[in-house]
Amino acid sequence: MKKYIFDMFAVVAPGLEEACARELDALNVSAVSISKGGVAFRGGLEDLYRANLWLRTASRVLVRLGAFGSRDFPDLYRKALRLPWGRFVKPGTLLQIKASSYRSRLQHTGRIIETVRDAAYRALGGEPAFDEGPSQQVLVRFENDQCLVSMDSSGELLYRRGYRQMVGAAPMRETLAAGILMLLNWDGGKPLVDPMCGSGTFIIEGAHIGMRKAPGMNREFAFMRWPRYRQGLWHVLKTEATCSERGSEELLCGYDLASEVVELARQNAVNAEVDSVTRFEVGGIGERRGSIVQAPGLIVCNPPYGARLGNDAELTELYRQLGDFYRSVYSGWQGAVLCPPGRLVKALGRGFDCIALLNNGGIEVGLYRAFL
Ligand SMILES: C[S@@+](CC[C@H](N)C(=O)[O-])C[C@H]1O[C@@H](n2cnc3c(N)ncnc32)[C@H](O)[C@@H]1O
């Protein structure tokens, strides 16, 4: 069988590009280039499956279908018609096409979508009879009159690992939580505490990293509906992943003031199969005198920012208390806080440096770290 080499692109949230490149490296897939918003890499089908199964920071993995210059719609149609659609799409599949255009003569994204869709359906032998059922997402991007057409291989975004059926207020994406842990060089060998854990995302992602659990183990991917999907290969990769899992001796702890979110976190940990190594307790930051885990490790949290949670007048005081709590109870640990730059960081007190600029649900935030 001919071995195809694909040009691929792992899409990541801003600030997580380097972490994603390191993840690809660990999968023995070399990053070809790192750009804002993602990492380009090359490889075969196995690398594509492996990237979807293992990448913790990527939100989706794209496969490049083709790239060409185009400055008018008839030309776009002709060139789109020649793309190898049949390699990725079974006839009768509904296409969901998205387009963007920057500094290009073809700017009307609605017409770009229509043109590419007409060409693709013609190449595939006709439009699907029904406009429901699973669809295939196609991304068309024009920049400086160069058109790049990509197939989404992931389907549902990769941050949806499947374990978090319920969330508290202002939850963070699993991909962001995992990326932050990687930026803090946390690899599972030490204790992890989140004193404002909400639905438990840091703790559960931390447990997955520590236990080497593949994040894509229990979900479906768009590539499973492509022609020549190699189910046998996928099963081999999943079995390999199961064999590489390890137990964790560390206890990962989350606390939160709100008892209902602590209950959610416990349920999410059960769904994620990490309840044996995690513990979630009700408790405010001022209430605990000592850590239940002794050895120095990492304490990290994503406190309310005011934009989505909390009363603005009380926030500065909350951050002041948080900084004091970190220094008094977790001396010797690495401490990190994800929050917007400015007065809230100042309220944390001495020692916090910004190590990355990130985005949490549309809000620009920094990752601030201190050696306590
Ligand atoms: C932005 S949310 C954290 C979201 C969490 N990272 C997740 O992914 O679900 C902030 C959390 O801080 C908790 N919180 C607010 N004040 C607190 C305090 N003084 N002590 C402990 N938790 C507090 C809130 O109940 C809320 O769940």
Residue 261 CB–ligand 1 contact under 6 Å: yes
Residues 263 and 324 grouped into a single domain: yes
Which residue's CA is the nearest one to ligand 1's atom 26? 198
Q: What is the pTM of this model?
A: 0.92
Would residue 239 count as lying in a domain?
A: no
CA–CA dist 325, 307 (Å, integer)? 23
Q: Which is the closest atom of ligand 1 to the Cα of 170? A: 1
The set of residues, in sequence order, having a beta carbon less than 8 Å from that of 95 and lying 6+ positions away, is: 89, 117, 120, 121, 135, 136, 138
Task: Give the strand pairing for 135-143 and 252-256.
Answer: unpaired
Ligand 1 mean position to 182 CA, how many Å?
Answer: 21
Would residue 161 count as lying in a domain?
A: no
Residues 147 and 181 grouped into a single domain: no
Ligand 1 mean position to 32 CA, how many Å?
Answer: 39
Ligand 1 mean position to 254 CA, how many Å?
Answer: 10
Helix (H, G, I), strand (E, B) or coil at 114: helix
Residues 57 and 196 grouped into a single domain: no
Would residue 200 count as lying in a domain?
A: yes
Residues 275 and 337 grouped into a single domain: yes
Q: Which is the closest atom of ligand 1 to the Cα of 284? A: 20
Residues 143 and 180 grouped into a single domain: no
Would residue 116 count as lying in a domain?
A: yes
Specify the CATH number for the domain of residue 53. 3.30.2130.30
Would residue 55 count as lying in a domain?
A: yes
Ligand 1 mean position to 203 CA, how many Å?
Answer: 13
Residues 143 and 193 grouped into a single domain: no
CA–CA dist 126, 124 (Å, integer)? 6
Would residue 251 count as lying in a domain?
A: yes
Domain span at residue 266 reads: 174-213+246-371
Residue 303 CB–ligand 1 contact under 6 Å: yes
Q: How high is the pLDDT of residue 1?
A: 45
Looking at 117, 152, 187, the residue that finishes a domain is 152
Q: How high is the pLDDT of residue 126?
A: 86
Residues 74 and 195 grouped into a single domain: no
Amino acid identity at 205: E
Residues 62 and 96 grouped into a single domain: yes
Residues 182 and 87 grouped into a single domain: no
Residue 340 CB–ligand 1 contact under 6 Å: no
Residues 204 and 319 grouped into a single domain: yes
Q: How high is the pLDDT of residue 286?
A: 74
Residues 358 and 269 grouped into a single domain: yes
Contact indicator for 239, 171 with CB cutoff of 8 Å: no
Specify the CATH number for the domain of residue 184. 3.40.50.150
pLDDT along the chain (372 residues), means of 10: 82 95 92 90 96 97 97 98 95 94 96 97 86 88 98 90 71 94 92 94 96 92 95 97 86 92 94 93 78 80 75 84 93 95 91 95 94 94
Would residue 18 count as lying in a domain?
A: yes
Say how many domains are in the chain: 2
Pocket test for ligand 1, best of 196, 285, 299, 312 (most atoms within 8 A of CB): 196
Ligand 1 mean position to 120 CA, how many Å?
Answer: 47
Would residue 338 count as lying in a domain?
A: yes
Q: Which is the closest atom of ligand 1 to the Cα of 194? A: 6
Residues 251 and 135 grouped into a single domain: no
Q: How many CB atoms lie within 10 A of CB 200?
A: 32
